[in-house]
């Protein structure tokens, strides 16, 4: 049987377990031009919270009664597709289910002989691509810039900061708790890290960035965004990647210090990784080289079982994870 996680209602605030229903259906049959994929790992991302809302966005909402949208990596176990053979490993959008069929759309063959599957949902997947294009194309970093990164211990923020270090920037992270801040500095190589749970943000940012911020990469929104805006330099760039502090609120807190952009002639621009899909190979090759050279370190936080989807998903919002959050669906 094929276990699937079905969206059955749209959450208003924090998603409860009954937002989804775990159903068992027959493993699907393939038609000509299709392949059957056995999912090994499911990617859990903050963006999934937005996909459950019935509103205009960069992707249509997940429909009630549909399999929850999610990034996946898995193995071809049956194929009538000319490009895929049994044993191939595909990364793409398979949804929260153990098996699915594909005609090849939004599925990419990957090589797991050099790196494990999990990296293709992390540094070599959507988070890594978001970090790469967000900080280089939107943030336009250059050597000597002071870069501030929120969500610095997360899947995107951790890579953003390391890319900025490769490019010769001074990088300060913001994370929650002593352990995460130590990880950001001691393992990831940031120049400093602010614990937003115990430090005054305005004072701490001013202390770490006394001459101001050239680039702020925002993953959380809310009060942290306000504090960063208060400390930007002339011609600063603010990259809006996410606002995880706001996703479960009925009323979103907008930036209070936005006039700092006017005074400092700054820019604030959003980044959606799908806009760079035709350049993923370029980014993956560069990221792979940095990883092999030891310049980029990544971590995956892996939990087991589609039955544990809700508990694992909530780790995105309660801070009980580090690096890329994954759910192991079936054995490798």
- Taking residues 268-281, what's their average pLDDT? 95
Q: Report how far residue 94's alpha carbon sits from residue 73's, in angstroms, rounded to the nearest whole number.
A: 8
Instruction: With cut-offs at 50, 70 and 90, classify the pLDDT of residue 163.
Output: very high
Q: 212-241: per-residue pLDDT in tens?
A: 999 999 999 999 999 999 999 999 999 999
Closest CA to 141 of 159, 172, 168: 168
Q: 202-213: per-residue pLDDT in tens?
A: 999 999 999 999
| pLDDT computed for residue 331 by the predictor | 60
Contact 165, 189 (CB under 8 A): yes
Mean pLDDT of the chain: 95
Q: Report how far residue 174's alpha carbon sits from residue 196's, in angstroms, rounded to the nearest whole number.
A: 7
| Domains of the chain, first to last | 2-122+299-328 (3.90.180.10), 126-274 (3.40.50.720)
Helices 126-133 and 155-166 sit at what angle, rounded to 10 degrees? 40
- What percent of the chain clears pLDDT 70, i.e. is strictly above it? 99
Q: Report how far residue 307's alpha carbon sits from residue 137's, in angstroms, rounded to the nearest whole number.
A: 39
Contact 134, 159 (CB under 8 A): no
Q: Report how far residue 240's alpha carbon sits from residue 225's, in angstroms, rounded to the nearest whole number.
A: 9
| pLDDT computed for residue 199 by the predictor | 97
Closest CA to 89 of 105, 111, 120: 111
Tokens of 307: 């039955």
pLDDT at residue 332 above 60? no
Strand 35-43, strand 324-328: pairing: antiparallel
Q: Report how far residue 212's alpha carbon sits from residue 229's, in angstroms, rounded to the nearest whole number.
A: 10
Q: What is the pTM of this model?
A: 0.94
Instruction: With cut-offs at 50, 70 and 90, classify the pLDDT of residue 306.
Output: very high
- Taking residues 299-328, what's their average pLDDT? 95
Q: What is the SS3 assignment for 209? A: coil
Q: Report how far residue 105's alpha carbon sits from residue 159's, in angstroms, rounded to the nearest whole number.
A: 27
Report the run of H or E that residue 50 belongs to, with start and end.
helix 47-51
Tokens of 113: 């002989």
pLDDT at residue 114 above 80? yes
Strand 170-175, strand 192-195: pairing: parallel
Tokens of 232: 């930007």
| pLDDT computed for residue 161 by the predictor | 98
| pLDDT computed for residue 249 by the predictor | 80
| Start-to-end Cα distance in the chain | 18
Q: Report how far residue 149's alpha carbon sits from residue 218's, in angstroms, rounded to the nearest whole number.
A: 6
pLDDT at residue 110 above 60? yes
Higher pLDDT: 8 or 114? It is 8
Instruction: With cut-offs at 50, 70 and 90, classify the pLDDT of residue 57.
Output: confident
Closest CA to 7 of 269, 310, 331: 310
């Amino acid at each position: 049987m094929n276990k699937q996680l079905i969206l059955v209602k749209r959450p208003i605030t924090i998603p409860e377990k009954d937002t989804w229903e775990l159903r068992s259906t027959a493993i699907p049959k393939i038609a000509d031009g299709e392949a059957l994929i056995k999912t090994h790992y499911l990617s859990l991302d903050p963006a999934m919270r937005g996909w459950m809302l019935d509103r205009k966005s960069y992707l249509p909402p997940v429909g009630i009664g549909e399999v929850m949208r999610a990034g996946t990596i898995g193995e071809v176990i049956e194929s009538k597709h000319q490009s895929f053979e049994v044993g191939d490993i595909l990364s793409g959008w398979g949804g929260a289910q153990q098996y699915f069929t594909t005609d090849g759309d939004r599925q990419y063959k990957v090589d797991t002989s050099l790196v494990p599957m999990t990296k293709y949902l992390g540094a070599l997947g959507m988070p890594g691509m978001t970090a790469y294009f967000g900080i280089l194309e939107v943030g336009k970093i250059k050597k000597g810039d002071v870069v501030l990164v929120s969500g610095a211990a997360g899947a995107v923020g951790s890579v953003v900061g390391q890319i900025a270090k490769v490019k010769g920037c001074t990088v300060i992270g913001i994370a929650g708790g002593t352990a995460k801040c130590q990880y950001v500095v001691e393992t990831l190589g940031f120049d400093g890290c602010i614990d937003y749970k115990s430090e005054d943000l305005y004072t701490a940012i001013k202390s770490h960035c006394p001459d101001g911020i050239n680039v702020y990469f925002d993953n959380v929104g809310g009060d942290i965004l306000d504090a960063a805006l208060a400390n930007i330099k002339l011609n600063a760039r603010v990259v809006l990647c996410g606002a995880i502090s706001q996703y479960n609120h009925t009323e979103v807190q907008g930036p209070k210090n936005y006039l700092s952009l006017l005074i400092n002639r700054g820019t604030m621009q959003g980044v959606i990784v799908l806009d760079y899909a035709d350049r993923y190979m370029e980014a993956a090759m560069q990221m792979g080289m940095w990883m092999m050279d030891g310049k980029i370190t990544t971590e995956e936080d892996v939990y087991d079982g589609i039955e544990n989807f809700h508990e694992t998903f909530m780790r995105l919002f309660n801070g009980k994870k580090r690096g890329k959050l994954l759910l192991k669906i079936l054995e490798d």
